[in-house]
């Protein structure tokens, strides 16, 4: 599994480094309604845009999976309760007292 990780990560890192070195042109970013200008290199704009998109996608997927996580927690609780019940039924019965040893009501 580590080999697969490195076979994917190393070429991807190399591509990102080559992309960053090849796109060092300075660009100006403006946010239209605001009087804000930022001059930065093109590769930073592209890579930060990808990172923001990735994080937003992860957040949306996490929010979308909340129902499945809630159902999994409920199922885990139910399974634990059923396992406790099974363990209780499988336990050998304790010593019983003869009927004469029981206290009167």
In sequence order, what DSSP letters do the residues of 51-94 get, joined into one string? HHHHHHHHHHHHHHTHHHHHHHHHHHHHHHHHHHHHHHHHSPP-
Q: Two tokens at 100?
A: 């004469």
For residue 1, pLDDT beyond 90: no
Q: Which residue would you say has higher pLDDT here, 8 or 93?
A: 8
Cβ(5)–Cβ(36) under 8 Å?
no
Q: Which helix (H) or strand (E) holds 36?
A: strand 36-41
Q: Give me the mean pLDDT over the 37-49 stretch.
A: 94
**What is the per-residue pLDDT for 56?**
97
70-105 per-position pLDDT tens digit: 999 999 999 999 999 999 888 777 776 666 666 666
pTM above 0.85, yes or no: no
Cβ(35)–Cβ(17) under 8 Å?
no
Residues 6+ apart with CB under 8 A from 73: none
- Other CB atoms within a 10 A radius of the CB of residue 78 amount to 10
**What is the per-residue pLDDT for 102?**
60
For residue 55, pLDDT beyond 70: yes
User: What is the average pLDDT value for the chain, to the nearest integer?
Assistant: 90
**What is the per-residue pLDDT for 15?**
93
94 vs 86: CA distance, rounded Å: 16
Q: Give me the mean pLDDT over the 1-30 stretch.
A: 93
């Amino acid at each position: 599994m580590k080999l697969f990780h490195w076979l994917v990560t190393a070429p991807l890192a190399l591509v990102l480094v080559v992309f960053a070195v090849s796109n060092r042109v300075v660009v100006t970013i403006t946010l239209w309604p605001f009087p804000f200008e930022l001059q930065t290199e093109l590769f930073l704009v592209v890579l930060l845009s990808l990172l923001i998109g990735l994080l937003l996608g992860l957040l949306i997927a996490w929010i979308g999976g909340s129902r499945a996580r809630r159902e999994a927690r409920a199922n885990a609780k139910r399974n634990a309760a059923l396992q406790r019940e099974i363990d209780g039924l499988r336990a050998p019965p304790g010593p019983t007292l003869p009927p004469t040893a029981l206290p009167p009501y």
